[in-house]
């Protein structure tokens, strides 16, 4: 888009408005002059007919009056005299008598008793062109009779004068516009354009962080108000920038303090986790070590134990060693999970394989166990053995939380959007609300000592998250517990890895 400068814009508008005003003024002046000229012509006709009426027609010298008219009228003009019944008495020529015989102006003047005028030509403002005019003037004839003098007079001289006036008016308008353009450009440049350009320079300096002083912006009130507004805006911007810098420095200081505090909190959390881990390890390892130490002490002090008792003590020691081994393996499983081998698999296949492993051990005989699996093939990407470990752990936890004749339900299906879920629900004792936030912590357990390490849920959560899933829990004390595993569903896969236990 092409833009015009403020000088051109203002000057063009001023010239346009002035041209319109001058044209209207000239048109009005021309029409007034034209009207005055026509009235002058008509007045001359009235004066002429009045003089002839007194000097000739009242003395019944009609022909003398007509001869006088011939001498007084302009070239091309003609006149006729009509009686009060419309009959043409005399005229400047025979042809004029015939032409004027049925002229309506005669009838109009006789009827109204007033002068009747008809102007011939074109009058479409601002274009005016006159050919001539006819005037019917009532008169008094001898004997008190009424009559009418009809005079037709060309206006070619008036038309030429009108055209000349039109040209003069147009010329004056052009000259006036030139003068206005010259002085208008000079005045605008000095009083408006130059100060506006100074304001533009000031705004550019403001963008660079400076506000120039002692600028000559003239004496135009509005421009000075704009200059003052720019100064106030600049001062407010600078004040805002100063406050912003102070806030940034304050935030940087707070951020440094926060980073330091965060480091201290992380260190404290690591120490707390290490303390909890150490306490859990000490508690879990302490019992089997105490038992082993007791058995070894008995074996040392009892030199003559029978082989059966000795074998029994050694078997107890072996079981405690296995217990220690399981604790160490669970700890290593938590701290250094083994490498996962994700595959595309059907979750229902993994769930059924996991349930078969548990059922073969015969630990769910006193439990009502239900499967509510989706009929569709639901594909995800995960390590089938690791996922099976999670499902088995949840089922075993549910079994421990229920009493005889309890109920466990394992379900699968589609969640919201592209998610799929695996859930394990029991109707056991539930988890107190105050402990829900701790159940995924390492070594946290509500089981009796020796019946759990507190690492199962922590390891299970880490496995689920490794496959891009989430593990959540819902529980109310006395109302049972629900664990939900959520994964991203894979589309357009017809084949999945079979899970074989």
Stated as kind and residue range, the H or E segment containing 273 is: helix 221-301
Q: Give domain status of residue 186, yes or no.
A: no
Q: Give domain status of residue 45, yes or no.
A: yes
439 and 480 within one domain: yes
18 and 121 within one domain: yes
Q: Which domain holds residue 298?
A: 288-334
29 and 153 within one domain: yes
Q: Up-side HSE of residue 266: CA atoms within 13 Å toward CB?
A: 6
Which one of 136, 152, 179 terminates a domain?
Answer: 179
326 and 346 within one domain: no
Q: What angle do CA 342, 488, 369 make, to 5 degrees?
A: 85
pLDDT of residue 436: 75
pLDDT digits (tens, 9 = 90+) for 345-368: 999 999 998 888 777 666 777 788
Identify the CATH number of the domain in which residue 98 sits. 3.30.450.20
Of the ranges 25-39, 45-59, 127-141, 349-363, which one carries the lowest mean pLDDT score?
A: 25-39
Q: Give domain status of residue 188, yes or no.
A: no
Question: With bands split at pLDDT 50, 70 and 90, how would you rate the model's confidence at 317?
Answer: confident
* Whether the Cβ atoms of residue 134 and residue 65 lie closer than 8 Å to each other: no
Which one of 129, 151, 179 terminates a domain?
Answer: 179
* Whether the Cβ atoms of residue 147 and residue 83 lie closer than 8 Å to each other: yes
Q: Give domain status of residue 348, yes or no.
A: yes
354 and 298 within one domain: no
Per-residue pLDDT for 435 more than 90? no
* Whether the Cβ atoms of residue 483 and residue 473 lie closer than 8 Å to each other: yes
CA distance 229 to 353: 80
pLDDT of residue 342: 85
363 and 298 within one domain: no
Q: Give domain status of residue 233, yes or no.
A: no
pLDDT of residue 283: 61
pLDDT digits (tens, 9 = 90+) for 184-201: 777 777 667 777 777 777
Q: What angle do CA 151, 156, 162 make, to 5 degrees?
A: 120
Per-residue pLDDT for 324 more than 50? yes
DSSP helix/strand/coil, 123: strand
368 and 311 within one domain: no
Q: Which residues pair with 140 in a beta bridge?
A: 146
Per-residue pLDDT for 129 more than 70? no
158 and 304 within one domain: no
Phi-psi label, residue 24: left if phi above 0, alpha if psi -120 to 50, beta otherwise: alpha
- Give 215's DSSP letter: -
Number of domains in the chain: 3
pLDDT of residue 492: 61
pLDDT digits (tens, 9 = 90+) for 78-111: 888 888 777 777 877 766 666 666 678 888 888 8
Cβ-based burial of 150 (10 A; exposed 0-12, middle 13-18, buried ≥19): buried
Per-residue pLDDT for 203 more than 80? no
pLDDT of residue 386: 86
446 and 374 within one domain: yes
Which one of 151, 179, 207 terminates a domain?
Answer: 179
What is the rounded average pLDDT for all residues in the chain? 76
110 and 56 within one domain: yes
CA distance 166 to 480: 108
Give the mean pLDDT of 437-453: 65
Q: Give domain status of residue 224, yes or no.
A: no
Task: Of 192-201, 245-254, 259-268, 361-370, give the range with the top mean pLDDT.
Answer: 245-254
117 and 70 within one domain: yes
447 and 419 within one domain: yes
């Amino acid at each position: 888009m092409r833009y015009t400068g403020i000088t051109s814009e203002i000057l063009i508008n001023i010239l346009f408005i002035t041209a319109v005003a001058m044209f209207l003024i000239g048109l009005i002046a021309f029409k007034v002059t034209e009207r005055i000229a026509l009235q002058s012509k008509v007045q001359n006709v009235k004066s002429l007919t009045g003089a002839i009426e007194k000097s000739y027609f009242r003395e019944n010298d009609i022909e003398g009056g007509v001869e006088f008219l011939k001498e007084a009228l302009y070239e091309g003009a003609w006149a006729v005299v009509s009686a009060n019944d419309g009959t043409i008495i005399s005229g400047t020529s025979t042809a004029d008598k015939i032409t004027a015989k049925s002229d309506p102006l005669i009838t109009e003047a006789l009827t109204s008793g007033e002068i009747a005028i008809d102007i011939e030509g074109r009058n479409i403002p601002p274009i005016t062109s006159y050919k001539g005019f006819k005037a019917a003037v009532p008169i008094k004839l001898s004997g008190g009779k009424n009559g009418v003098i009809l005079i037709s007079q060309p206006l070619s001289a008036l038309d030429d004068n009108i055209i000349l006036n039109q040209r003069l008016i147009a010329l004056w308008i052009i000259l006036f516009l030139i003068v206005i353009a010259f002085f208008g450009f000079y005045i605008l440049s000095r009083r408006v354009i130059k100060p506006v350009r100074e304001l533009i320079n000031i705004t550019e300096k403001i963008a660079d962080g400076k506000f120039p002083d002692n600028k000559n912006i003239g004496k135009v009130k509005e421009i000075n108000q704009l200059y003052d507004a720019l100064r106030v805006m600049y001062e407010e911007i600078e004040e805002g920038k100063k406050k912003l810098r102070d806030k940034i420095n304050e935030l940087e200081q707070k951020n440094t303090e926060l980073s330091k505090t965060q480091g201290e909190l992380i260190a404290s959390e690591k120490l707390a986790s290490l303390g909890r881990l150490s306490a859990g390890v000490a508690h879990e390892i302490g019992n089997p070590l105490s038992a082993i130490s007791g058995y070894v002490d008995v074996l040392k002090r009892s030199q003559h134990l029978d082989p059966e008792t000795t074998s029994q003590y050694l078997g107890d020691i072996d079981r405690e060693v296995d217990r220690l081994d399981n604790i160490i393996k669970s700890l290593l499983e938590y701290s250094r999970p083994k490498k996962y081998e994700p595959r595309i698999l059907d979750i229902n296949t993994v769930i059924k394989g996991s349930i078969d492993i548990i059922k073969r051990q015969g630990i769910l005989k006193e439990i009502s166990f239900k499967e509510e699996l989706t009929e569709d093939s639901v594909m995800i990407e995960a390590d089938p053995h690791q996922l099976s470990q999670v499902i088995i752990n949840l089922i075993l936890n549910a079994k421990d939380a229920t009493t005889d004749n309890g109920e466990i339900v394992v379900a699968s299906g589609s969640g919201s959007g592209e998610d799929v879920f695996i859930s394990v629900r029991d109707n056991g004792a539930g988890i107190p609300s105050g402990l829900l936030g701790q159940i995924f912590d390492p070594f946290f357990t509500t089981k009796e000592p020796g019946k759990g390490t507190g690492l199962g849920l922590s390891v299970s959560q880490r496995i689920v998250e490794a496959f891009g899933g989430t593990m959540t829990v819902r529980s109310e004390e006395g109302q049972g517990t629900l664990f939900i595993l959520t994964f991203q569903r894979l589309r357009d896969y017809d084949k999945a890895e079979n899970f074989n236990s």
